[in-house]
Homo-oligomer: A and B are copies of this chain.
């Protein structure tokens, strides 16, 4: 009998779903707006409807392994309870897993979206290509997501809250983060941080950035990247600063986990050609493993650091894959 699963990606803006089989990948995609204004119970209802619709697209000879929802954190596991999630206002304390399990007659899985994306990258992205089952993934989007995979499985920590490298202090006395800490990676390397730094430099008189922001007040990381690639030193300095912060953070991850692979994803990762020189400069002197692999050393097992290969579908793909990894 053919096995299939259902993946759901719960974002602050859109709720997306698809069916999945190992042979055909994602199929039967659906997307609706996330009805945040109607509260968590309404959104849970939409997730159930999308799941039942998706299930109905398959004929009754196929067997459903379950549905997995990838959701923004903080998400306490295995309970499946949200704690003050910044992208889901009003969801504090909501127990989504229980809400879904009480309504659906298939196995339900729930995990943090960054964990789920890392699972996809391991089994279907760069981890698969390199035949590695041990990685860390940093998703540099509006915020910074972090997922850890060891032995092909998600490292969840004691309460499901592992993988918050976005809030590791890369400059302990640095800028204040929304989270209340100072100098978090997210303050330097998220899309929001790239724009904030561009605004700061423009205010300080950087002419090209001021011009760009006058012409395009809503300019994003991609626009500043284009300016940097054209040779503008002020725009380049934004990505140097981000690259350095990412390098310091990855060095910490390498020194603590010794992962085989670290992948960078999310919109800001499109700036990889500008970010990577600074990242590797930091790794060369901060990472224990990079230092052990100096020329002439017997030890030549680098941690590979590269861009992720799955794009914006990593979360949905990982959610859909999840029942195949964790289901019976």
User: Which A residues contact B (CB, under 8 angstroms)?
Assistant: 74, 76, 81, 83-84, 92-93, 132, 134, 146, 148, 150, 155-165, 167-172, 179-182, 248, 251-253, 255-260, 285-286, 288-289, 291-292, 297-299, 301, 303
Contacts and interface: CB of A to CB of B under 8 A. Distances in A.
Contact of A157 (B157, B171, B257, B291): B257
A246 to B, nearest CB: 12
Contacts of A146: 256
B167 A255 contact: yes
B248 A172 contact: yes
Contact of A161 (B162, B164, B172, B289): B289
A168 B257 contact: no
A256 B256 contact: yes
A163 B167 CA distance: 20
Contact of A258 (B159, B172, B182, B292): B159
Contacts of A286: 167, 169, 181-182
Contact of A255 (B76, B164, B255, B258): B164
A35 B325 CA distance: 50
B169 A252 contact: yes
Nearest to A159: B301
B168 A299 contact: no
26 contacts: A74-B288, A74-B292, A74-B299, A81-B298, A83-B292, A83-B297, A83-B299, A84-B297, A93-B298, A132-B158, A134-B158, A157-B258, A157-B259, A158-B259, A159-B301, A161-B258, A161-B292, A162-B258, A164-B258, A165-B256, A167-B286, A169-B252, A169-B286, A181-B286, A252-B256, A256-B256
A285 B255 CA distance: 23
Given A83-B292, A155-B150, A159-B289, A299 B76 contact: yes
A92 B292 CA distance: 11
Q: Copy number in this complex?
A: 2
A133 to B, nearest CB: 9
Contacts of A258: 156-164
A303 B132 CA distance: 31
A24 to B, nearest CB: 32
A256 B148 contact: yes
Contacts of A81: 298
Contact of A158 (B182, B253, B260, B292): B260
Nearest to A81: B298
Contact of A162 (B168, B257, B292): B257
Given A164-B288, A181-B285, A285-B180, A158 B301 contact: yes
Nearest to A176: B285
A182 B306 CA distance: 24
Nearest to A185: B255
B299 A165 contact: no
A180 B291 contact: yes
